[in-house]
Amino acid sequence: MSLQCGIVGLPNVGKSTLFNAISSGKAEAANYPFCTIEPNVGVVTVPDERLEVLTELVKPQKVLPTIIEFVDIAGLVKGASQGAGLGNKFLANIREVDAIVHVIRCFQDENVVHVEGKVDPVFDKEIIDTELQLKDLESVDKKLQRIDKAARVGDAKAKAELEILKQYKAALEAGKSARTVQVSEEDKRAAIGDLQLLTAKPILYVANVDEASMLTGNEYSERLKAAVKDENAEVVVLSASIESQIAEIDDPEEQALFLEEFGLTESGLTRLIKASYSLLDLITYFTAGVKEVRAWTIRRGWKAPQAAGVIHTDFERGFIRAEVIKLPDYQQYRTEAAVKEAGKMSVEGKEYVVKDGDIMHFRFNV
């Protein structure tokens, strides 16, 4: 599965610095608005200790972790919904991603210009929120006009969609995001599935703090947490400048020593990547053999044939059964043959819901 998280925020909040740290690609980082014009895409691996366990057991020729793409999107300014700055380009780029990572400045530095002239994370958040909500309101209004005509002549489906769209319109006009509207998934798909609403996308906040605040946060990050407490959204506190230094260290032992100096057990980027994976409600299953051990990304709740289809469409089309091993059993018995002999390999059919961490082998015929 190809999944993308868009890194957004006001200019000069640390977006490109963060992107450079999590990606092998290098976005231009500069102390002025719009230094990032075209979205940069970086592919990053999802840290997973279970992959290391399997590698030790199987000793494959190669190991392939699962990935997420991060997109560094041009900085937004007030008025973007009306085309100010690079607003239209920015909003179009957000529309393409699966989730939003909103980077918010939570540090003071007189050498880094703030586009609004002051450091206020809640105010910054509201600027982005407002611009996205205004653009969504425009989209909802346009569809309301179309649907209203059909509803007036008695189209039952149009009437139902109209009522749901009115709920979204009311929320957006009240300064709330589309993701806060409580409707069923079926109704949501029917009413706004074709609109790609910006504020319907899941969101994760990154509080970009100074070095001294990496472990405990600061007054700015606490204010941000308080502002988003009703959104059911996670706030990851990190220092983008320190993370960029960590990312430059290739040797794992040196990197561990560097983290230890700052009192960290894992980098903020590792926490961010894991949180992004969770935000998209993704899980991992594994295939394990001598040729390769590989992690595969799927949506939580997918059944075995869907999971098989991620490997190849033929696997889903001709699905017969899935042979499933749990990692603790693999660790206990050490080999696939021993797991089978102990009766710990289950054989599952088309209705089996894949669990996070399953080790799977698919039987198929086309």
Q: Is 303 annotated as a binding residue?
A: no
Torsion sign over Cα 81, 82, 84, 88: positive
Q: Is 346 annotated as a binding residue?
A: no
Instruction: Give the separation between CA 285 and CA 296, rounded to whole angstroms.
Output: 5
* Pairing label, strands 346-348, 319-325: antiparallel
Instruction: Give the separation between CA 143 and CA 32, rounded to whole angstroms.
Output: 37
The one-letter amino acid code at 299 reads R
Q: Is 270 annotated as a binding residue?
A: no
Hunting for tokens 């997918």 — which residue is that? 302
H/E segment holding residue 145: helix 121-152
The candidate with the shortest Cα–Cα distance to 19, out of 3, 1, 4, 2, is: 4
Could you tell me how far CA 83 lies from the centroid of its own chain? 26
Q: Is 17 annotated as a binding residue?
A: yes
Instruction: Give the separation between CA 55 and CA 92, rounded to whole angstroms.
Output: 41
Q: Is 143 annotated as a binding residue?
A: no
Q: Is 221 annotated as a binding residue?
A: no
Residue 21, Cβ density class (10 Å: 0-12 exposed, 13-18 middle, ≥19 buried): buried
Could you tell me how far CA 75 lies from the centroid of its own chain? 19
CB atoms under 10 Å from CB of 219, counted, come to: 10
- For the annotated binding site for ATP, the residues are 12-17
- For the annotated binding site, the residues are 12-17
